[in-house]
Structure 1
Amino acid sequence: MKLNYKIIFHFLGLLILFNGGFMLLSALVSLIYEDGVTLSLSLAALVTLLFGGVAMLFTRKHNKEMNKREGYIVVAFGWAIMALSGTLPYIFTQSIPSFTNAFFETMSGYTTTGASILNDIEIIPEGVLFWRSLTHWIGGMGIIVLAIAILPLLGIGGMQMFAAEAPGPSADKLHPRITDTAKRLWLIYFSYTAAETLLLKLAGMSFFDAINHAMATLSTGGFSTKNASVAHWNGQPIIQYIIILFMFLAGSNFVLSYFAFKGKVQKVIRDEEFKLYFKFIAVFTIIAAVIVYFKADVSASTIAHPMVWGEGESAFRHALFQVLTVITTTGFISADYTMWTPFLVVFFFGLMFLGGSAGSTSGGVKVVRHLILIKNGFLEFKRSLHPNAILPVRYNTKSISGDIVFNIQAFFILYMLSFIIGALVFSMLGIDFQSAIGLSASSLGNVGPALGDFGPVNNYAALPGIGKWWCSFLMLIGRLELFTVLVLFTPFFWRNR
């Protein structure tokens, strides 16, 4: 079967139009704050809208049926084309004149990674900073729709688990139509963003800082408007606790938020992934807080007013904040965890491979995959003793098909291979071991802060140009669940059959 190129370009044109519309919103913010780049942002928006409009105009007469191959292409190239067009506001305003740097910053935004090449964020015009945060928010919205509407249809490993809780053939589906399901989750996403903006404003942030940090939190992105990130507000613990709450919500399955709003709290409490997600955060926070309190110098690793409510509270808050920001792959910084003893450096490096829940905006492997792998591992012990017994893996009291288990195993192996190859490429560029493995794990998991020369208090500006493109590729494949992008590199994918 030949590819239906018209429908592919039609969808890509729609995405570009979508991008241009958000650029106009950034131009409006620029006009309000009189930052001097309104015209440049407007031109970037008009150029983007023109390209998107032309693409849709020339493909308006298309066959509306989309098969799996076309779905893969739209998803993978859609993210790439959004990143390419998203560079225009940076380039037109000369905020980031280098195309390589602008593409890196944009890809980091759309993939909600949060890695940055900007050395002085606070001198960037407000309209551009708003666009930078918007790339996060758009990416977060896109991931929700991707997880709900597209990946289950493509049969992407692990996401079938989420599909069973949402639009798939299950009694627990939110709504029989996928589009209506996506709308409901977008509404939750928007409501959470508005709620966090209001709370941060009431806690002492300016409205501009509040809305930017709310967009970065709910998307689990991590772009900040301050050079010190959230550490800028170390003297206002309530701000950090608000961000902690919404990082937790952003890293949990958005379908569970829907059930909670509908009064089905028991459904949330009984969900195995949510329980493990909560336990991971609780246990890891206790471990980190105890070590920070007794072994680490909190004041040396934070910026300005590290202990407002006492040393114990400070150790707990920074431990909880950093555990959540790494597990949910948000990437905000309240302290430099690489100064918290060698054990905690390795500890946080390990957390980069965890990820949040399926159906959340977080990156990483995802808790549900770890849960299935652990359950299947324990069952292998029983199978070795009882080879004739039928012992299915169960998730939320339901048996999981062997195909899904094998798919998750394949995903995990492919993820680790991608991490190793990623680190090898960085080492070939002359980057030291600690920095190379940190870069690879952080980019692939969409975490943001890495280790070594690219740790929490540094950025990615010193990375060679080739390294930035490689980082961008790792961000993309990590964000789109590996298979979605890597299948495009296989010869059989492009054969007409």
Structure 2
Amino acid sequence: MHLTVILRVLGVLLMLFSFASLPSAFVSLWYQDHTSEPFFVAFGLTFLAGLLSWFPVRKHKHELRTRDGFLIVVLFWLVLGFAASLPLYLAMDVISFTDAFFEAFSGLTTTGATVIVGLDDLPKSILFYRQQLQWLGGIGIVVLAVAVLPMLGVGGMQLYRAETPGPVKDSKLTPRITETAKALSLIYLWLTIICAVAYKVAGMSVFDAICHAFSTVAIGGYSTHDLSIGYFDSWLIESIAVFFMLLASANFSLHFFAWRKKSIKHYFVDAEFKFFLAVAVLISVIAFLTLAYTGRYEPLASLRHGVFESVSVLTTTGFGTESFSTWPLLLPILLFSSAVMGGCAGSTAGGMKVSRVLLIIKQGYREIKRLIHPQGVFPIKLGKKPVSDKVVQAVWGFFSVYTLVYIVIMMLLMASGLDFETSWSAAGASLNNLGPGLGTVADNYKYINDFSKWVLCLAMLLGRLEIFTLLVVLTPMFWRR
């Protein structure tokens, strides 16, 4: 393991990330909210820390090994999480370091769980910084999911690339990883710009349009208002949000080939994306019918709120027009459980990923057919290409570890004094990078204890790194020579 090279990479990352504080400082100067100084201080401290890490080892240029890659990916999130919390801690006198780290880490991992209340009264600079963290975290997630994690042999895209037909499944969309990252970044940027313009045309202010475009494309869910998207009370804005949430939950390699081939046919032949849309429609219909049947809203309002909340929770965005936790009958559990699946592999969405859930369903159906015809051979297919039993076993392995981690996190939260509903939903909301939960955490996470917040930060990291990336680093075997 080349620790000097790892330190050099992290030093460069810190120096680059330090510039993330400057836009918020300039926003503060523009709106004259007198909070620019903490952002400038955070910039200087973070840049200095990166420089001190990089300078002594700047000439060490060994080739990175797979083991180095695992450690860099994990440290990437942890180091940037601490750096990202610095501006919030310095700019907000009433916030503790635990809350500052929780808020920043939730933003970077695009979880969207917040400990801050009174958003409408916060300075514009702090609001912008929160949204920007989600946007930066989103592009980091896309690059890691599509270009980096498959090279390490982990992540949903690794299975997706290996076993799904068509030209869109390769671990590198272009010959060099730098070109891949550049292509993905451009697509991500253009989606954000188009989304912001659409929000502005629909009636948002320029500031709100930019901020909500950041969190929509990143599938983050942070808002500049306590009422989230519901603040605007506009069906047009909600429709734009639904469209871009679905788009951002698709595999970004589909966007890449739609851009390169000037065609959208890849979306309609991709088995994962088609299944994802089918689930979104099904849950939306159930939500609409339940709300209309119980008389919670008028029929048109039932359709509007049912579709928006279903898509928002399924994609693990976490925007809200209404509090789904108070909805009748099965809806709170149904919607929350849908986030376990989340979006497609190679997207900014959280959850287990659609490709894994689809393979688990197909494997279960195959076992039923084997009971009826013990001697039969029933290959599992995604699209028209068979999936090897090795891949199916890997998916079941992931599901087993995911379930075990979920239970452990929930038990830790219950041991800290949280009730069952809050513990179960907070564990799932963090592990699936959803944000809002049920019970005490239905609206925010401000009132839970500090121990629980650190446990949930660990859950956010596990979910964002698709569990195995972090667990590999925690095993003794990883550190043996």
Q: Which residue of 1 aligns with 2:314?
A: 327
Q: Which residue of 2 aligns with 1:147?
A: 145
Residues 1:59 and 1:27: Cα distance change in structure 2 (over 3 Å): same
Q: Which residue of 2 aligns with 1:462?
A: 447
Q: Which residue of 2 aligns with 1:223?
A: 222
Q: Which residue of 2 aligns with 1:54?
A: 52
TM-superposed deviation, 1:114: 0.4
Residues 1:337 and 1:388: Cα distance change in structure 2 (over 3 Å): same
2:425 is the alignment partner of 1:438:
yes
1:50-449 correspondence to structure 2 within 5 Å: 50-94=48-92, 97-164=95-162, 174-234=173-233, 236-261=234-259, 262-298=261-297, 311-384=298-371, 390-449=377-436
TM-superposed deviation, 1:168: 10
Residues 1:124 and 1:270: Cα distance change in structure 2 (over 3 Å): same
TM-superposed deviation, 1:338: 1.8
Q: Which residue of 2 aligns with 1:305?
A: none
Cα deviation per residue 1:448-491 (whole Å; 9 max; x = unaligned)?
00001111xx2100010101101111011011100011122211
Paired residue secondary structure (2:59): coil
Cα deviation per residue 1:255-307 (whole Å; 9 max; x = unaligned)?
11222233332222010001101100111101100111121423xxxxxxxxx
Select between 115-124 and 472-481 the one with higher mean Cα deviation. Answer: 115-124
Residues 1:433 and 1:172: Cα distance change in structure 2 (over 3 Å): closer
Residues 1:408 and 1:157: Cα distance change in structure 2 (over 3 Å): farther
Q: Which residue of 2 aligns with 1:37?
A: 35
TM-superposed deviation, 1:208: 0.8
Q: How many residues align?
A: 479
Q: Is the 8 A contact 1:90 1:96 kept in 2?
A: no
Residues 1:58 and 1:166: Cα distance change in structure 2 (over 3 Å): farther
C-alpha distance in 2 between matches for 1:265 and 1:145 = 22
Amino acid at match of 1:79: W
Q: RMSD across aligned C-alpha pairs, in angstroms?
A: 2.0
Residues 1:269 and 1:170: Cα distance change in structure 2 (over 3 Å): closer
Q: Is the 8 A contact 1:166 1:255 kept in 2?
A: no
Amino acid at match of 1:467: S
Aligned residue among 474, 478, 488 for 2:463: 478
C-alpha distance in 2 between matches for 1:250 and 1:359 = 10
Cα deviation per residue 1:21-73 (whole Å; 9 max; x = unaligned)?
11112212222221101122111111111111221212212233111111111
C-alpha distance in 1 between matches for 2:397 and 2:60 = 36
TM-superposed deviation, 1:167: 13
TM-superposed deviation, 1:314: 1.6
TM-score normalized with structure 2 length: 0.95
Q: Which residue of 2 aligns with 1:20?
A: 18
C-alpha distance in 2 between matches for 1:446 and 1:167 = 29
Q: Is the 8 A contact 1:157 1:411 kept in 2?
A: no
Cα deviation per residue 1:104-136 (whole Å; 9 max; x = unaligned)?
001100110000001211222211211111110
Select between 201-210 and 377-386 the one with higher mean Cα deviation. Answer: 377-386
TM-superposed deviation, 1:175: 2.1
Q: Is the 8 A contact 2:4 2:57 kept in 1?
A: yes
Q: Is the 8 A contact 2:165 2:385 kept in 1?
A: no
Amino acid at match of 2:398: F
Select between 345-354 and 38-47 the one with higher mean Cα deviation. Answer: 345-354
**Identical aligned residues as a percent:** 38
Amino acid at match of 2:193: A
Paired residue secondary structure (2:22): helix
TM-score normalized with structure 1 length: 0.92
Residues 1:173 and 1:269: Cα distance change in structure 2 (over 3 Å): farther
Residues 1:220 and 1:170: Cα distance change in structure 2 (over 3 Å): closer
TM-superposed deviation, 1:96: 5.3
TM-superposed deviation, 1:313: 2.3
Deviation above 4 Å: which 4+ runs of structure 1? Answer: 164-173, 384-390
Cα deviation per residue 1:7-28 (whole Å; 9 max; x = unaligned)?
1111211221221111112212
TM-superposed deviation, 1:389: 5.1
Residues 1:65 and 1:385: Cα distance change in structure 2 (over 3 Å): farther
C-alpha distance in 2 between matches for 1:173 and 1:207 = 36
Gaps of 5+ in 1: 299-310
Paired residue secondary structure (1:345): helix
Paired residue secondary structure (1:36): coil
TM-superposed deviation, 1:400: 2.4
